[in-house]
Amino acid sequence: MSEFNVPSEKIYQPSANRYEHMKYNRTGKSGLLLPAISLGLWHNFGFTDNFENSRNILKCAFDNGITHFDLANNYGPPYGSAENTFGTILNRDFKPFRDELIISSKAGYDMWPGPYGNLGSRKYLISSLDQSLKRMGLEYVDIFYHHRPDPDTPLEETMGALDQIVRQGKALYVGLSNYPAEETVKASKILKELGTPCLIHQPRYNMMDRWVEDGLLDVIENEGIGAIAFSPLKQGILTSKYLNGFPEDSRAVKDGRYLQTSQLNETVLNKVKQLNEIAISRNQTLAQMAITWLLKDKRITSVLVGASKPEQLLDSLKALDNLEFNTETLNKIEAILK
């Protein structure tokens, strides 16, 4: 009998050509490159989801050059479970490749009861990151974000906590999410003075949700900050999924927290159908074109996509096959969106 334990499953070996097809963009004025498409673990990685499917999605991502996995303390459900799931998969499959990965987490939304489990105090941010590191089995994250502005905590305290986290070695870089333009300028100034510049901003941005164009993208460019857009498909509206109504297995039907059926009214549906025709003319799906449309702006470092299965992720990655828009097509898109 052998003294060694033979593993019951094959050890994961990532694709040898995983870096050949992905496009990597510089994050603002930093030295960090991010894949043009990153994987968000907002959905499909909680305790209520299929573990092996979550595992296969992550393997598929890394096999295709996606090196950035984006989490937050309250991703699940329940809160924290996405980080637990990711930590288990990291230990099983990705531990030898830790230095090839960019792992991010955030804190800012409600996480635990009482006055210290929310918003932007030093107490909350440092405690939350300590919990996140424990769940994922990590010594540090590559990027730690403040997830949203806190109107009641001095910005100096929140940014000071981010600076402290970097100096403690718990994060390599820090970022902001959901901050408006004016607050981003103030936060960036404080972080620069502290000696820990803001690496990246993560705003909600897609063809139908363009608030970042009203000042924030200019701030990001002027401050030398990168940008990673979340919700690029507007919770599935910018796909072909709802062209003929709501499928029974759709998120709008199964879980109305993030997408309500009322959001897809006749006006919106008409726009989606016209955009879909343009996508077809480009030999793309509407989802692929929506991702490509974001990446046309050089201020956008990466687009954060979700996936319910590996095949969906592979479909999103095909957006990189056609990244160019001519002026005529862009004008048609603008006419539809207005």
Number of domains in the chain: 1
**Three-state DSSP string of 38-104:** EEECCCCCCCCCCHHHHHHHHHHHHHCCCCEEECCCCCCCCCCHHHHHHHHHHHHHHHHHHHHCEEE
Distance separating alpha carbons of residues 21 and 64, to the nearest angstrom: 7
* Kind and range of the H or E run holding 336: helix 327-337
Residues of the chain under the 70 pLDDT cut: 1-9, 246-262
Torsion angle of the four alpha carbons 239, 241, 243, 245, in this order, in degrees rounded to the nearest 10: -140
For residue 205, what pLDDT is reported?
Answer: 98
Q: Is residue 254 part of a domain?
A: no
Residue 130's CATH number: 3.20.20.100
- Of all helices (H) and strands (E), which one includes residue 34? strand 33-35
Amino acid code (one letter) for 263? Q
Residue 270 lies in a domain: no
Residue 38 within any structural domain of the chain = yes
User: Residue written as tokens 């687009």?
Assistant: 303
What three-state secondary structure class fits 199? strand
Q: Give the predicted TM-score (pTM) of the model.
A: 0.93
Task: Indicate the angle between helix axes 122-136 and 155-167, nearest 10 degrees.
Answer: 40
Q: Return the pLDDT at 114.
A: 97
Task: Report the C-alpha gap between 103 and 287 in whole angstroms.
Answer: 25
Report which DSSP code applies to 174. Answer: E
3-class secondary-structure state, position 13: coil
Pairing of β 37-40 and β 141-146: unpaired
**What pLDDT, on the 0 to 100 scale, is given for residue 264?**
79
Q: Is residue 109 part of a domain?
A: yes
pLDDT of res. 7: 43
pLDDT given for residue 112 in this prediction: 97
Q: C-alpha dihedral over 306, 309, 312, 317, to 10 degrees?
A: 70
Residue 32 lies in a domain: yes
* Alpha-carbon radius of gyration of the chain: 20
222/225 Cα distance (integer angstroms): 8
Q: What is the pLDDT of residues 106-136, one digit of tens each?
A: 999 999 999 999 999 999 999 999 999 999 9
CA distances (Å), origin 175, targets 10, 11, 81, 178: 37, 34, 22, 10
- Amino acid 252: pLDDT: 58
pLDDT in the model for residue 329? 98
Burial annotation 228-264 (CB, 10 A radius, 16+ → b, else e) = bbbbbbbbbbbbebbeeeeeeebbbeeeeeebeeeeb
Other C-beta atoms lying within 10 Å of the C-beta of residue 4? 6
Q: What is the pLDDT of residue 206?
A: 98
Question: Quick check: helix, strand or coil at residue 278?
Answer: helix
Does residue 332 sit within a domain? no
- Residue 257 has a pLDDT of 57
Strand bridging mode 33-35 / 37-40 = unpaired
Please check whether residue 253 lies inside any domain of the structure: no
What pLDDT was estimated at residue 179? 98
Question: Measured between alpha carbons, how far is residue 238 from residues 153, 168, 219, 275 in Å?
Answer: 36, 41, 27, 9
Would you say residue 229 lies in a domain? yes
Please give the pLDDT value at position 10.
84
Dihedral (Cα; 223, 145, 77, 315), 10-degree rounding: 40
Contact (CB, 8 A) for 24 and 35: yes
Q: Report how far residue 286's alpha carbon sits from residue 233's, in angstroms, rounded to the nearest whole number.
A: 9
Q: Is the CB of residue 102 less than 8 Å from the CB of residue 90?
A: no
Residue 244: its pLDDT value, please? 81
Q: What residues make up the domain containing 213? A: 24-235+294-309+316-322
